[in-house]
Amino acid sequence: MQYNSIIFFIFIIASLLLYYITPVKYRNHFLLIINYAFYSYFDYRLTFLLIGITSVNYFIGEAVRKSRTDDAKKTYVVLGVVFNILILGFFKYFNFFIESAKGFVSILGWNINLDTLNIILPLGISFYIFQTLTFIFDNYYEFIEGKYTFFEFAVFASFFPTVVAGPIERASRLLPQIKNDRQFSTENIKRGFALITTGMIRKVIIADSCGAIINHIFADPAYYKSIEVLIAVLLFTIQVYNDFAGYSSISRGVGMLFGFDIMINFKQPYFANSVSDFWRRWHISLSTWLRDYLFKPLQIKFRDLGNWGNALAIMITFILCGLWHGASWNFIIWGFLHGFFMSFAIMNKKFKDKLKSLITSPPILNLLQVISTLFLVTLANVFFRTTDINHASQIFGQIFSFSNSEFAFRFIKIFLAYSIVSFAFDYFEKRYNSDYFLAYIPAPIKYGFIISSWFLIFLLIFSSDKLPFLYGQF
């Protein structure tokens, strides 16, 4: 059930009406039903896998909570991590490792008879495994107060606004909201609707329109000229941001309609003045998850190595971050590049500070830092978007062919148009210090903008092919 589909709107309206008609003490029961109904719409068989992972993680998390010794807690944490890695490894990485092993031994002149399997990748498995793992980790770090029932945890694990593509909620943050009573609030409805509106504009009007151009060019880069391929790369930077930020805004908005406060996942990432600052603003639910549960333990482990230890912890974290995104060497290279950019900045801090001191104007310095950060992010995005290393090489090769195009000015105008609209949303979010800024805009302008936007959204939904959300594949 894609967010950019009519069936989704019917599902939300019907569920919302029944949800608030249902007595408060039974709302979690109803919520669990619609959670599983939403997930089962994609493939009901995979719902049993979700229930199985939910059950194992709950009982391991409870074992951690009840343990009286640190050694016992660590044992259960390791058990939980191993279980989830094995599940994720089988469904997401089994074929990748088989193909990689066959490719490696073929270089040595050997031949191994290993067959890949026809494995269905469960929708959102990377997201809900990371989300349920927080129950184990948060119990270990004692971030969770009190006991939660299996039923409450099942609602958390299958929570339909986040189960497919996040944001990756923490058990310590969302479980108390599930336990508490949630009353109808007109303010929540207004804010939720504002978030859904901005999310749909980002997805349907900006991201999908960019995606239609990008898909054509990336499918056959050799057919297009240098500037056209370059603009496609730049447009992908706009697409991937608005696609996923749009999804996250819709998720937050839907959660708010049902009385939940889902965490903010983006905070004007293209205003970042360094790659590390970028990751404080981009996919915040994942970056903070990696920071708290992976980077910090690694940083402690390597603390005797000083800056080298920090750099090593960053590299490991972001290579695994790349692998989390997909079973492909391209994703690993993408993660490696982000880790390398940040590690390089740490190891060359004195040189970086010396360069910064040469520019006396703070606004000019900030602008140069933002532009250089965007350049590095866009460079890495080529590997994120392409299917393999050869495909990435084709893209770079075509860009540096410096071939002329009679449509160059047209492509530049397209890029500038989508960039301006995209940055306008970030500007207003920053100005109002809120991602549901639409709720605060003066009434005549607000209603005119909302009505015209929804008219265009529905027009595009009915008249063009709907592109899936990019992060839905993870």
Catalytic residues: 325
What own/partner pairs with CB < 8 Å and gap ≥ 24 does 142-147 have?
143/170, 143/171, 143/172, 144/65, 144/171, 144/172, 144/175, 147/62, 147/65
**Residue listed under structure tokens 């009190």:** 146
The first and second tokens of residue 421, run together, are 């609209």
Q: Taking a C-beta distance cutoff of 8 angstroms, is the pair 340, 312 a contact?
A: no
Distance of CA 203 to the CA centre of its chain: 14
The residue type of 456 is L
Q: Is the bond leading into 362 cis (omega within 30 degrees of zero)?
A: no
Classify residue 245 as exposed, middle or buried by CB count within 10 Å of its CB (0-12, 13-18, 19+): buried
Single-letter amino acid, residue 466:
K
DSSP 8-state secondary structure symbol assigned to residue 306: T
Q: Is the dihedral of CA 326, 266, 249, 186 positive or negative?
A: positive
State the Cα–Cα distance between residues 443 and 85, nearest whole angstrom.
50
Largest CA distance in the chain: 72
